[in-house]
Structure 1
Amino acid sequence: MTLPRTAMDRDDEDDVEKALLSAMAAEARAYISSFSWCPDIRRIELTFGVGGVVALFLVDFVSAIGGEDDRLWVVVGDIPSAYMVVDGQRPGPALENYCDLMEDWAAAVLSGSLAQAEVFPVAAAATRQNAEDLLRRVASLRSDFVPLAGMD
């Protein structure tokens, strides 16, 4: 696991934050490794994180998945975990993409069309309450954290 200087090695980062982000890195590794198609992991780099809330990792693989993608974004936290293809994105746009994926799932649940929808599979019961809770959480991510991650 690689945690960049800007996030983990700064003198002003406290031990609690470091421990939370390290635990989230382990969670990201376990999440992506749970898929049968996941190749061996070369490294996991924290690109943005707020301990215990949300963390975005860039996962580099030893070999490409299906001959195409040799790295993926992985999001973990107090939100549903997800992975996304890296298309030259920076952390801010990657978190925006995550928000879009979660909103698509919630909209499909609320409209009753989840079975027919082509949305990212969220590991949560497809209930109105879960969809509404996720939409509130995504709104918070967009307003409070995406700007911190940077949109350039």
Structure 2
Amino acid sequence: MTLKPDLSKTFEWNKYFVNAGASDPDAKSIEALHQEARAFLESFAWCNSIIEDRIGFVCPGIVGVFLFKFVVTTKEREDWVWVLTGDIPPAYIACEDSPNPATALDAYIGAMQEWVEAAERGAATGHLIPVNVDPTPENAARLKVRLDFLDEKTLSGYGEDLKA
């Protein structure tokens, strides 16, 4: 079982969407990111059922960082995982070293940068975080632009959270 993440840095999805989502002009985009994250997690055989879903933060159309509590099929126990979706390859990040949304995004960026570096060199990527495109230098360049943007424009505002 993973460590429980810092829930004070997240919002219950249903409460968020009822309270803020109805008046948010980006509500449809945010809901689409959430649905993509749920579908991504549910695509894994080890995810039996989602018990709770929370929103970490969202930049509509760019990235959504969601937290899910779910039942693991192999051991019938509860677990937590971050799922990131958007204009990036979807991925999940374990909570052990990522207690809050900013650290989850930071871990995602780091893992994806390893993939970018390997793809740029033409090296094997099978042992790295899965990416839903071929590991070509062109795909690496496109992903690198997105990762740099997330690092410089999004994470720069979460300095204190990154110290967790």
What range is the shorter-chain TM-score in? 0.7 to 0.9
- TM-score, normalisation: structure 1: 0.85
- TM-score, normalisation: structure 2: 0.79
Partner of 2:120: 110
Misfit runs of 4+, over 6 Å = none
Q: How many residues align?
A: 149
Cα distance in 2, alignment partners of residues 100 and 73 from structure 1: 15
Cα distance in 1, alignment partners of residues 89 and 123 from structure 2: 20
SS at match of 2:57: strand
Map 1:1-152 onto structure 2 (within 5 A): 2-3=12-13, 9-10=19-20, 14-61=23-70, 63-64=71-72, 66-67=74-75, 70-87=79-96, 89-115=99-125, 118-149=127-158, 150-152=161-163
| Structure 1 residues 142 and 64: alpha-carbon distance in aligned structure 2, compared to 1, 3 A threshold | same
Cα distance in 2, alignment partners of residues 65 and 57 from structure 1: 21
Letter in 2 for 1:97: A
Q: Does the Cα contact within 8 Å between 1:92 and 1:147 map onto a contact in 2?
A: no
Q: Percent identity?
A: 28
Gaps of 5+ in 2: 1-11
Deviations 1:36-78 (A, max 9, x none): 22120112211110111100000110x2364476011000001
Letter in 2 for 1:110: E
Letter in 2 for 1:136: V
Shift of residue 114, structure 1, vs aligned partner: 1.7
